[in-house]
């Protein structure tokens, strides 16, 4: 058996160049050639995980099966590769320091002074090699968050230097992602920022093997040669990454640029077969040749930053392609919706999704939106807080419990139809303490959820503290809201539906985290289908 190979992906010049997409695209190409690949991300911030961060700070918090709250790039890895990631796939500076400090308190450093080098770098190294040591993978791609030159990225680059030094030749490759900006006034692409960024890497003792250059214009042979010469890489290792229509085009672009071949040659790995990307190409073809177009409202409170709902947006792309339907997602602020303007604001929509979230802001707008969807037979999909709001709306307007609320919004409410889970009541710490990760759920035969999944036993991922209050269950069911998904161990209500409505489904879990290109999520697929049917009827 050959040893596990390591590919490091670093970023230069600016942030937001799309290291996650490049890493996922390369992984896709290697996987499609028959290699077992996984990706991990190292984030240089001091939070233990992004779970405690506001979505405005960091975009969506992605959740894995094993309950890790992670960077949203892990979502890209899962969506591209159709694999599941875990705690080990996302490490932060906070986690590194926490481990080192705990070891110090236990006296494990035997009287030594604990320092960034070697103790922090050793812990980074241990974490980088953890997945490789499992023997499960041929190739591990490690994405280093941040930009080369940042103070906080330094220990990571130093660790990469040490790993390359320790491993044998051809066991590691370094890809550096940079920007080649276009100066409109000079009508020229500029290579200097790339040169400087590579120089910074060299100062830390790491020579990139491949440069992936983000650009708005084609690079041209001369420019490639110039970059290659000054950055000390071969010309074929200068890879152009030009802006594309959708992130799902990137693997094919990278294949055209031979990124996978260059890397395999560097790692002295056989090219095996050509990548099998037939199903990927089919997906893209359906995505780009839709037969219908629909408008979906995504009602939330972090709508200024679409990254806050990344997995939902991507799940709509997967489900749209599956239905050969272009899904236009309209991000709408729930605070701006009220009884007086609901029709004007929501009337053009073919489907309404009320998003997950926390806290009181914008709640009443969400409830008004749900009332509109319910009364006007507009397909409705509520996720987590969206489901909880659907329960509150039904309690108030159908069960007649006018003061019904979630105890998250009003702890003193007389009718807490959504209430804090029992095990949450004694928890005081905020980080990593929600009900997190994958739990089983049993579906009622004949329900919309059952029809979508095509089976009765499912597993979905969670991130919440509040739940449907079981005391009210009989009253809801009598009044026409059915509980069609139940956790078989705790009896917790996971799905509510209204069977007399064309498509009204609220889920306590987060289906968006499990939608991939190869496996679009069944609930999103059915929701888009229902919205498509609604749109046709409307005309």
Catalytic residues: 384, 510, 512
Give 32 or 492: the residue with its C-beta nearer to ligand GLN: 492
Per this entry, what is the length of the chain? Answer: 539
Q: Which stretch binds ligand GLN (CB under 6 A): 242-250, 273-281, 351-359, 514-522?
A: 351-359
- The upper half-sphere exposure of residue 68, i.e. CA atoms within 13 Å in the direction of its Cβ, equals 21
Residues 6+ apart with CB under 8 A from 509: 384, 439, 441, 460, 461, 462, 494
CB of 444 to ligand GLN, least distance (A): 23
CB of 453 to ligand GLN, least distance (A): 21
Q: Is 51 in the site for ligand GLN (CB under 6 A)?
A: no
Give 60 or 123: the residue with its C-beta nearer to ligand GLN: 60
Give 44 or 511: the residue with its C-beta nearer to ligand GLN: 511
The token pair that represents 315 in the structure block: 């799940």
Task: Report the alpha-carbon distance of residue 472 to residue 388 in Å, rounded.
Answer: 13
End-to-end CA gap in the chain: 61
Task: Report the alpha-carbon distance of residue 213 to residue 180 in Å, rounded.
Answer: 6
Specify the 3-state DSSP secondary structure of 208: coil
Give 141 or 387: the residue with its C-beta nearer to ligand GLN: 387
Candidates 43, 143, 350, 408: give the one binding ligand GLN (CB under 6 A): 408
Contact map string, positions 358 to 377, toward ligand GLN, x by CB under 6 A: x-------------------
Give 199 or 333: the residue with its C-beta nearer to ligand GLN: 333
CB of 197 to ligand GLN, least distance (A): 38
Task: Report the alpha-carbon distance of residue 395 to residue 367 in Å, rounded.
Answer: 11
Instruction: Give the Cβ contact number of residue 341 at 10 Å.
Output: 12
Q: Please give the residues from 451 up to 490 whose contact with ligand GLN meets the rule CB under 6 A.
A: 463-466
Helix (H) or strand (E) segment spanning residue 30: helix 19-32
CB of 257 to ligand GLN, least distance (A): 39
Give 138 or 408: the residue with its C-beta nearer to ligand GLN: 408
Give 275 or 382: the residue with its C-beta nearer to ligand GLN: 382
Q: Is 498:513 a contact under the CB 8 Å cutoff? A: no
Q: What is the DSSP string of 140-178?
A: EEEEEPS-TT-GGGHHHHHHHHHHHHHSPTTSEEEEEEE
CB of 242 to ligand GLN, least distance (A): 37
Candidates 11, 75, 356, 506: give the one binding ligand GLN (CB under 6 A): 356
Q: Which stretch binds ligand GLN (CB under 6 A): 245-253, 287-295, 356-364, 520-528?
A: 356-364
Contact map string, positions 372 to 401, toward ligand GLN, x by CB under 6 A: ------------xx----------------
CB of 265 to ligand GLN, least distance (A): 45
Number of H helices, E strands in the chain: 18, 23
Measured CA angle at 356 (ends 351, 357), to 5 deg: 135
Site size toward ligand GLN (CB under 6 A) is 10
Instruction: Give the Cβ contact number of residue 364 at 10 Å.
Output: 17
Residues 6+ apart with CB under 8 A from 307: 55, 59, 60, 72
Q: Which stretch binds ligand GLN (CB under 6 A): 71-79, 190-198, 354-362, 470-478?
A: 354-362
Q: Which DSSP category does 314 fall into? A: H
CB of 68 to ligand GLN, least distance (A): 15
65 backbone dihedrals φ, ψ, rounded to 5°: -55, -40
Residues contributing to the site for ligand GLN (CB under 6 A): 356-358, 384-385, 408, 463-466
């Amino acid at each position: 058996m050959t040893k596990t190979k390591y590919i490091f992906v670093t970023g230069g010049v600016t942030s937001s160049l799309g290291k996650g997409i490049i890493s996922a695209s390369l992984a896709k190409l290697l996987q499609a050639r028959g290699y077992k690949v996984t990706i991990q991300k190292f984030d240089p911030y001091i939070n233990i995980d992004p779970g405690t961060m506001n979505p405005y700070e960091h975009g969506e918090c992605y959740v894995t099966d094993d309950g890790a709250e992670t960077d949203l790039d892990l979502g890209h890895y899962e969506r591209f590769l159709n694999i599941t990631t875990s705690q080990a796939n996302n490490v932060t500076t906070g986690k590194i320091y926490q481990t080192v400090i705990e070891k110090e308190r236990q006296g494990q450093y035997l009287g030594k002074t604990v320092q960034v080098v070697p103790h922090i770098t050793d812990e980074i190294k241990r974490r980088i090699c953890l997945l490789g040591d499992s023997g499960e993978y041929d190739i591990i791609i490690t994405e280093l968050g941040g930009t080369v030159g940042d103070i906080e990225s330094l220990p990571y680059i130093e660790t990469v230097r040490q790993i390359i030094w320790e491993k044998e030749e051809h066991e590691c490759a370094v890809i550096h992602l940079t920007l080649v900006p276009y100066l409109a006034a000079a009508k020229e692409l500029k290579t200097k920022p790339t040169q400087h960024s590579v120089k910074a890497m060299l100062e830390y003792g790491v020579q990139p093997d491949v440069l992936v250059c983000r650009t708005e214009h084609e690079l041209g042979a001369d420019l490639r040669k110039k970059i290659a010469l000054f950055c000390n890489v071969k010309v074929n290792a200068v890879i152009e990454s030009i802006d594309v229509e959708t992130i799902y085009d990137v693997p094919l672009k990278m294949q055209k640029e031979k990124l996978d071949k260059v890397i395999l040659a560097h790692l002295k790995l056989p090219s095996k077969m050509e990548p099998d990307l037939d199903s990927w190409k089919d997906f893209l073809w359906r995505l780009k040749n839709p037969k219908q177009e629909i408008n979906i409202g995504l009602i939330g409170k972090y709508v200024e930053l679409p990254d806050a709902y990344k997995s939902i947006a991507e799940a709509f792309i997967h489900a749209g392609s599956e239905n050969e339907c272009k899904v236009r997602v309209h991000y709408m602020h729930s605070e701006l919706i009220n009884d007086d303007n609901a029709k004007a604001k929501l009337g053009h929509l073919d489907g309404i999704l009320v998003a997950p979230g926390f806290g009181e802001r914008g709640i009443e707008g969400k409830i008004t939106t749900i009332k509109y969807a319910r009364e006007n037979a507009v397909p409705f999909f509520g996720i987590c807080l969206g489901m909880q709001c659907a329960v509150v709306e039904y309690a108030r307007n159908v069960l007649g419990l006018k003061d019904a609320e979630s105890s998250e919004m009003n702890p003193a409410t007389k009718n807490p139809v959504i209430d804090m889970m029992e095990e949450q009541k004694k928890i005081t710490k905020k980080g990593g303490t929600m009900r997190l990760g994958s739990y089983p759920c049993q579906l009622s035969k004949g329900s919309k959820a059952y029809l979508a999944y095509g089976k009765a036993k499912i597993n979905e991922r969670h991130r919440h503290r509040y739940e449907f209050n079981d005391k009210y269950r009989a009253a809801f069911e009598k009044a026409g809201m059915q509980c069609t998904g139940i956790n078989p161990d705790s009896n917790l209500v996971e799905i509510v539906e209204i069977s007399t409505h064309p498509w009204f489904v609220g889920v306590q879990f987060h289906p968006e985290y499990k939608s991939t290109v190869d496996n679009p999520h069944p609930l999103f697929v059915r929701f888009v289908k229902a919205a498509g049917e609604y749109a046709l009827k409307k005309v």
